[in-house]
A = this chain, B = another copy of it.
């Protein structure tokens, strides 16, 4: 029905899914990579970086901000965005734990 039955799963599983979802659009990946690349706050020029309209970028930024992965501070008529290091580290630990699960040779049984 278009709605994930999140009550069936653990908090950890739901958390991983929420992070997965936010990385599940290339525009949000590009925004995050850009923030890392300039290694500072970007004030304003995010719309020119990507080929999407201003309301679309604004919406993607909102999702990243809702998850806490970026911070946005008002600076006059502009808003300065940057990575939230604490939250990024926190997210990275959760995702890395999931990605680093180990398998052994028995996996090849079929």
Chain A interfacial positions (CB closer than 8 Å to B):
4-6, 8-10, 13-14, 16-30, 32-33, 36, 39-41, 50-52, 71-73, 75, 80-83, 85, 88, 91-92, 95-96, 98-104, 106-110
Given contacts A24-B24, A26-B6, contact A103 B85 (CB under 8 A): yes
CB atoms of A110 and B82 under 8 A apart: yes
Chain B residue at minimal CB-CB distance from A100: B92
Number of copies of this protein chain within its complex: 2
The answer to whether B16 and A23 touch across the interface, beta carbons within 8 angstroms, is: yes
- Pick from A32, A72, A100 the residue with the most CB of B within 10 Å: A32
Known: A13-B29, A88-B103. 20 other contacts (CB 8 A): A5-B52, A8-B27, A9-B27, A9-B30, A16-B26, A17-B24, A17-B26, A18-B24, A21-B21, A23-B24, A33-B98, A36-B101, A36-B103, A40-B107, A40-B109, A41-B109, A41-B110, A72-B110, A85-B108, A96-B96
